Amino acid sequence: MSMKIRLARGGSKKRPFYSIVATDSRMPRDGRFLEKLGTYNPLLAKDDEKRVQMNIERVQYWLAQGAQPTERIARMLEAAGHKAKVERNNPKAAVPGKKMSELAAKKAARSAAPAEE
């Protein structure tokens, strides 16, 4: 069974509130989970201590059992100092998509055409 530590959404429309849960990766996002490990309230200020609350002992237990944290949970653990920072690099993030590349090429061709006349 592949385990995940991830967020389960709660709260109402436009007022998100998340529970940090340990679950089987095949379960739906807000579905059945094995244990609630903490909470995350994105509406609070970033420096507020109540924004992310985790039971670190239980998180460490599930990590020792082989549970994989999602990207967001891994970042929370790094911010709390319980996991080593991982350098992330996405070189394709700054590369424009196909349609935008075509538009840029057309614009460059149009601006070069009057200069040649």
Q: What is the DSSP letter of 67?
A: P
Residue type, 40: Y
Q: What is the pLDDT of residues 59-103, one digit of tens each?
A: 999 999 999 999 999 999 998 888 888 887 888 888 888 999 999
Rounded CA separation 51/45 (Å):
7
Classify domain 3-89 at the CATH topology level: S16 Ribosomal Protein; Chain: A; (3.30.1320)
Say whether pTM exceeds 0.85: no
Q: Is pLDDT of 43 > 90?
A: yes
Banded pLDDT at 117 (limits 50, 70, 90): low
Rounded CA separation 68/6 (Å):
9
Give the residue extent of every domain in the chain. 3-89
